[in-house]
Chains A and B, each alone.
Chain A
Amino acid sequence: MGVFSNLGPKQKIFLVLISLIVVLFLLENLLPFQIISPLQKILLPVQASIYKTRKDVGGLFQTVFEVGSLRSKNQNLEQEVAFLQSENARLEKLEGENKILKDQLGVKSPKNKSILASVVGEDPIFSSSRLLLDKGSRDGVTNSSIVFVKDILIGQIFSVGSHSSTVRLLSDPETKIPVVTKSGVQGLAQGEFGNQLVLTKVAQNKKITEGEFIFTSGESGLPRGMVVGRLGKVDYDPAQLFQKGQITLLLEPSLLEIMFISVEDR
């Protein structure tokens, strides 16, 4: 008590703040999500509308600046759609065959369902490799739930609140995913600072080519065969132990407004 009375007003304030940090830390461990949960429920719609407005305004400016290149971009996209439609038709046929074979072998699909989540915010720390989604533990989202669009992997849930969750995008420096190329070469997709994703740990005797699709290999708790991206420039240096290549994402996550989260069917 004597020590406390000897402290100045500023020192007392910081002492109270440190005590509060300790109390909050203990409370958060004892009662996860309980402190911010009611506030989150009230404030999340406001946050979602501000985020959407910012996206809309940003999109409008981007369209104005890019209007010159839109025609050629559109032509390229039309061509790409035609290629993809033909590939899709072939894959649908293969999927049908695959289903028949699975039924015959008695393979059961995992009991997972996907829920729709809207992007409501970004990481408050100076980086854009994490996004906030409007689905949380009450919707069945858990740490390491997978976030995707169609068959394209977007990221993995990193922290879960009661009404929201944070997805760590593939380009986050902490991302490390075992992958396999279309030709069957194994490697590791790793996020790097500056929102980049690279393919590493590819043995020098394996051949990887630019433009190849990259899929999850089914290790580290991720389902097999999800699209990670397309292989870009490959750095081949015989002096190095492994080959390395840039991975181009098929979808730019920061432009997405909705995503799917894989949750266990309850």
Chain B
Amino acid sequence: MSKNFSFFVLALYLSALLQVSVLAIPIGILLIMIWYLANGSKHLIIISLLFSLFLSSGSNIRISYILLATTLSLAIFVVGRDYLPHRFTATVGLAVFGIITWEVALFILVGLKI
């Protein structure tokens, strides 16, 4: 594992902390999307799992719920990137849509309490 990856994991942890302490926006998802743009699908599974683990420990929400919302949000972003033109506005639009999807999916899953 590279030094960059270690810093990225630390950034993911901080983003999860900020989300439960300062502003309820999934900055971690945004970071994962940026990682995907820079490094492709390398370590994507570990990153998603770590983000879900950090946020789960800080928010008391089941890790499977967070990972499901994260996977759904990432799937939208990745599939969208494959089909939409690689323009800045399209990427930003996809990222925003991915974040909204994450929020809505988690809200529904927590509310359902399966």
Interface of A with B (CB < 8 Å)?
9-10, 13-14, 16-18, 20-22, 24-25, 28, 35-36, 39-40, 43-44, 46-47, 50-51, 54, 121-128, 132, 159-161, 164-166, 174
Name the B residues within 8 Å of A22 (CB-CB). 64
Asked whether, in the complex, the Cβ of B45 is within 8 Å of the Cβ of A16, the reply is: yes
B57 with A39: CB separation less than 8 A: yes
Q: Is B89 an interface residue (CB 8 A)?
A: no
A125 and B68 within 8 A (CB):
no
Given known A36-B53, A50-B17, A123-B24, contact A24–B60 (CB-CB < 8 A): no
What are 30 A-B contacts with C-beta separation under 8 Å?
A14-B71, A14-B78, A17-B45, A17-B71, A17-B74, A18-B71, A22-B64, A24-B64, A25-B64, A35-B63, A36-B53, A36-B57, A43-B17, A43-B57, A44-B57, A46-B17, A47-B17, A47-B58, A50-B22, A121-B20, A121-B59, A122-B21, A123-B59, A124-B16, A124-B24, A132-B60, A159-B61, A164-B60, A165-B60, A166-B59
Cβ-closest 8 pairs across A and B: A121-B20, A25-B64, A24-B64, A51-B21, A39-B57, A40-B57, A36-B57, A17-B71
Query: Hey, which chain A residues are within 8 Å of B17, CB to CB?
Result: 43, 46-47, 50
How far is the CB of A164 from the nearest CB of chain B, in Å?
A: 6
- Does any Cβ of A come within 8 Å of B11's Cβ? no
Between B16, B22, B54, B107, the greatest number of chain A beta carbons within 10 A of the residue's beta carbon is seen for B22
Which residues of chain B have a CB within 8 Å of any CB of chain A? 16-22, 24-26, 41, 44-45, 48-49, 53-64, 67-68, 71, 74-75, 78, 103, 106-107, 110-111
Q: Nearest Cβ distance between residue B38 and chain A, in whole angstroms?
A: 16
Give the distance in Å from the alpha carbon of A54 to the alpha carbon of B48 in the complex.
27
Q: Are A24 and B21 in contact (CB under 8 A)?
A: no
Which residues of the partner chain B approach A125 to less than 8 Å between Cβ atoms? Answer: 24, 103, 106-107, 110
Q: Specify which chain A residues have a CB less than 8 angstroms from the CB of B71 in the assembled complex.
A: 14, 17-18, 21
Q: With both chains docked as a complex, state the minimum distance between the C-beta of B75 and any C-beta of chain A, in angstroms.
A: 6
Residues of chain A with a CB closer than 8 A to B63's CB: 24, 28, 35-36
A237 CA to B67 CA, complexed, in Å: 47
Q: Assess whether B64 is in contact with A10, with CB atoms less than 8 Å apart.
A: no
Look across to chain A and name the residue whose beta carbon is closest to the beta carbon of B79: A10
**Contact (Cβ within 8 A) A54 B45:** no
Complex CA–CA separation, A61 to B25 (angstroms): 22
**B24: contacting residue among A40, A126, A159, CB under 8 A:** A126
Instruction: Give chain B nearest CB distance to A227 CB in angstroms.
Output: 27
Using A47-B58, A122-B21, A124-B59 as known contacts, list a sample of 17 further A-B pairs with CB atoms less than 8 Å apart, ordered by residue number in A: A9-B41, A16-B45, A17-B48, A17-B67, A35-B56, A39-B54, A47-B17, A47-B20, A50-B18, A122-B20, A124-B20, A124-B61, A125-B106, A126-B25, A128-B24, A132-B20, A160-B60
Closest A residue by C-beta to B20: A121
Asked whether, in the complex, the Cβ of B67 is within 8 Å of the Cβ of A24, the reply is yes
Write the chain A residue with the least CB distance to B109: A125
